A and B are shown apart, each in its own frame.
Chain A
Amino acid sequence: MDSSSVEPGPSAARPSASSAGVFKRITATVGPENLSLIIALAILVAVIASQTDSFFLTRNLLNIGQNVSVVGLVAIGVTIVIVSAGLDISVGSIAGVASVVSALIITQFDTEIGSVAGGIAAGAALGLVNAGVITFLRVNPVIATLATFSAFRGLAFLIAPGGRSIGVLDQEFAWLGIGRLFAGETFPGIPVPLVILIGVALIAHFVLRYSVFGRSVYAMGGNPTAARLAGINLTRMKFMMYSASGALAGLAGVIVTARTSSGQPASGTQGLELEAITAVFLGGAILAGGKGTIAGTMLAVILIGTLSNGMNLMGIPTFYQLVAKGLLLIIAVAIGQWRMVRSERLQARAIASTSVEKK
């Protein structure tokens, strides 16, 4: 046994002994799915950089980071749910409710911490509602969260006085959305939301990979009956997962409030669920469950963010960008399928030739 690769995860393809080249070793560490995302990203960057001068400016790169952080947070929660063979369509609406809740708290009680906590708690609570509908009422997750997708958006408008956005003037609170760390003369500073995203992504990565909860998510995604018969409480798992997904959507909603200086029932959070789900599948998860990683999702989020940014820099209208995102997802999944088939075929051929030699 090679002790250097100890991850139990799916990407833990082990390097084949000493003959492994640098490339092979990189593939083994990063995982083949993630590697193709990195290659796609590299090609995309090369194309954009050849067409425009401003892409590699520090300011622009940090802007990409700023822009992907909200959808990135949502995508982390959705990754967990999709790996478990579930789905959460309601995350955008949850973020909308959280945005309004956090704005209400800060305007009424003037507490930043309370506002952030309130937004996250509201998200978690709505996640629990999803889990309750899925487990106790036995509604399929797609349908359950499709229903709450609509219901929660309505709720966001209902709790916002007059159904309108709520202005938030608190500067300290706004720092969460637009603040920059380590800003200097020449360095524009790292966006606070990006720091939050990186922190949350790291935690989620370790939890999904190295915790009982995370390993159980993979098991129940791969085969719920086997997971239950191995003693995993699926009901409890669902409550944990959907509330985590809701809490992360809630956090995303709080950041939207901070960034726009207003609690928004709709604007800023609408369509978030589809962007997040796109990123999760682009990142290597499968609808059947049991596969997918936080690293893959994060790479996909960066890829989509870079694509949007590049097309903006090149002056390509938004409509084309939407088409391009759709194509990207289809191409990515198709390449994944093709590569799987091809690798099996190659392996088979290799074995056939070696056994013939043995004769």
Chain B
Amino acid sequence: MAVAPILQVANIDKAFPNVRALSDVSLDVHGGEVIAFMGENGAGKSTLLKILSGDYHADSGTVTLDGSEVRFHGPKDARTAGIRVIYQEPEIIPHITVAENVFVGELPTKRGAVDFRKLIADTWQSLHDFGFEGLIDPNALGSSLSPAQRHIVEILRALKPGLKVLALDEPTSSLTDDEAALLFKLVGQLRAQGVGIIYVSHRLHEIMQIADRIAVLRDGKLVGVKQAADTSEDEIVAMMVGRNLTDLFTRDHAIRDQVVLSVENLSSQWHHDVNLTVRAGEVVGLAGLIGAGRTELAKVLFGEYERDGGVVTINGKPHDMRHPSEAIAAGMGLAPEDRRGEGLVLVRSVLENSVLAILSRLSRLGMISPAKLRATGGPLIRKLDVKTPSLDQEVGKLSGGNQQKVVLARWLAARPSVLILDEPTRGIDVGAKAEIYRLIDELASNGIAILLISSEMPELLGLADRILVMRGGTIAGELSRDEASEEAILRLAMVHHSPSLSPDPANPGQAMQ
């Protein structure tokens, strides 16, 4: 390209305790292009974004915006200069309205007081301008928003005058296909306006569709930059991990006849008439749009949320789980969707987290010998190849993939007969994904019944023996391995589905109907 790049990053170095996050990274971003950053977790994508957003300072190297070198002393500097970053997990302030969230830090004022009328009007205007009309109510509270709506708010925040570079970090990980399509349209609009767009995602398919160029990072170094038109998914994956995409999905099927988990006519605040069975050694996929009630179903089964009716049977015995401890005692395990918020005790060690579900089992008279803890947790952490300097490392300091492995280690230690995995590979890099797939396969072949909730179609199609599709709080249909395809799943998931996203906090399970 003959035009001078809008953003230039040159020879960036950055190190953290225990890890060298970026070394000698140089990269250009042009106005009016979409450049994708790809790489496994820990490859340095997020660090690079955080340097651009002013959250981190580079140890050395320069960032040049519009021809002049910039040094940001905080996110506010970067924002003012025109670089806006949208993170994977949007920061929404729960107790204020959508409009206030969008204009936080720059609320319009009139004679010293906040001009709420103008605030609401401006929010309506930007919703209208960017095609989000009807998806979100400016007066709704932050806490009532769905993940997709939270993303929209975060995007609106960025779309203010002076925008030069927009960076999106895993923007589609919590969006349905409809919502993602809307986002792509918006990205197209901004590109046409000359904004430089940085797009970080693990979804190759999406990247190939949307990006002009693809920059691949590995272990903090830039491996290469490819024109999207001249490359293939296989080539990109090979650059990221040095292995082929086809290696990722191989699974033996080891279903036994014995039904381990059986659910009859389950109902709850979110569900009605849910019926399902999972046999020993079987991986049953649970597909559905966001709001269909999949995560809630996992938590109702696990005793975290209340069940109004129905029978849940594990290994032939009915169980009335009213607390997760009862579910665990009955032989269940749950790796929740939000692993940092609900899965892990981030300030405690890898070892402590790995044995958390079996403390009582390891104890004698209420006391646990530390040697026994190590003897139990240590081998599992090694078996799962968790990359940590020691068992005593705080789990919050590990990368996403390694954190998920610690969650899985906990359930390996507990040896449940039913394991519910809620989005087990969300936000995890390709290499770690493959390891987690292998692990799921191994658990199943050991006779564990697995209920796999996932929004990633290839993952469901590759791993599941059967796929149940949820819609509006119940099972809308079942697909055998042979019948299952992305189209078939979507057809079941979306019947009667209109793209209305109006918040309905009282009854979130029904919001998608």
Contacts and interface: CB of A to CB of B under 8 A. Distances in A.
Contact of B342 (A218, A222, A229): A229
Interface residues of B, number: 48
B107 interface: no
Interface in B296-322: 302, 304
A219 B352 contact: yes
Interface of A: 1, 5-8, 10, 12-14, 206, 210-213, 215-216, 218-219, 222-223, 225-233, 288, 290-291, 343-344, 347-349, 351-352, 355
A159 B352 CA distance: 46
Interface in B1-51: 13, 15-20, 23
Contact of B371 (A6, A14, A215, A288): A6
B392 A291 contact: no
B238 interface: no
B391 interface: yes
Given A215-B359, A233-B325, 11 more contacts: A13-B392, A211-B363, A212-B360, A215-B368, A225-B341, A227-B356, A229-B336, A231-B325, A343-B17, A351-B16, A351-B17
B344 A351 contact: no
A8 B346 contact: no
Contacts of A6: 370-371, 374
10 contacts: A8-B351, A14-B390, A218-B345, A218-B348, A222-B347, A229-B302, A288-B347, A344-B17, A352-B20, A355-B20
B324 A226 contact: no
B345 A349 contact: no
Contacts of B409: none
* Among B302, B360, B378: residue with most chain A CB under 10 A: B360
Contacts of A215: 352, 356, 359, 368
Given A8-B351, A230-B356, A291-B347, A355 B23 contact: yes
Contacts of A12: 349, 392
Interface string B329-369: 10000101000011111111101100011011001001111
Given A228-B304, A229-B336, A351 B342 contact: no
A196 to B, nearest CB: 22
A148 to B, nearest CB: 27
A223 B345 contact: yes
Contact of B15 (A210, A216, A349): A349
The B interface, classified by DSSP as helix, strand, loop or mixed, is mixed
A351 B19 contact: yes
A212 B366 contact: yes
Contacts of A355: 15, 20, 23
Contact of B343 (A210, A211, A229): A229
Given A6-B374, A13-B392, A231-B357, A290 B348 contact: yes
Contacts of B336: 229
A347 to B, nearest CB: 4
B200 interface: no
B17 A8 contact: no
B324 A210 contact: no
Contacts of A349: 15
A223 B395 CA distance: 12
B178 interface: no
Contacts, number: 124
B357 A351 contact: no
B466 interface: no
Given A218-B352, A228-B304, A291-B347, A7 B370 contact: yes
B328 interface: yes
A229 B348 contact: no
Contacts of B20: 351-352, 355
A225 B19 CA distance: 29
B59 interface: yes
B347 to A, nearest CB: 4
Interface of B: 13, 15-20, 23, 59, 302, 304, 323-325, 327-329, 334, 336, 341-349, 351-352, 356-357, 359-360, 363, 366-371, 373-374, 378, 390-392, 410
A212 B324 contact: no
What are the 8 closest A-B residue pairs judged by CB atoms, nearest first?
A222-B345, A347-B17, A352-B15, A231-B328, A231-B325, A230-B356, A290-B347, A6-B370
B344 A223 contact: yes
Centre residue among B359, B366, B391 by max chain A CB count within 10 A: B359
A216 B359 contact: yes
Given A12-B392, A233-B323, A351-B17, A210 B370 contact: yes
A12 B374 CA distance: 13
Contact of A1 (B17, B328, B360, B391): B391
Residue of B18, B348, B360, B410 most packed against chain A (CB within 10 A): B348
B13 A219 contact: no
B334 A229 contact: yes
B371 A351 contact: no
Contacts of B334: 229
A212 B356 CA distance: 9
A212 B341 CA distance: 22
Max chain A C-beta neighbours (<10 A), residue from B18, B357, B367: B367
Contacts of B329: 231
Contact of A225 (B342, B357, B378): B342
B368 A210 contact: yes
Contacts of A291: 347
Given A226-B343, A227-B356, A355-B20, A14 B392 contact: yes
Contacts of A343: 17
A348 B368 contact: no
A218 B363 CA distance: 16
Q: Select the residue from B17, B327, B342, B391 with max chain A CB neighbours within 10 A.
A: B17
B274 to A, nearest CB: 21
A13 B17 CA distance: 14
Given A13-B392, A216-B359, A229 B324 contact: yes
A344 B341 CA distance: 24
B373 A8 contact: yes
Nearest to B363: A212
A223 B341 CA distance: 8
Contacts of B16: 344, 347-348, 351
A13 B391 CA distance: 10
Contacts of A230: 324, 328, 356-357, 410
A351 B359 contact: no
A351 B389 CA distance: 13
A231 B359 CA distance: 10
B325 A352 contact: no
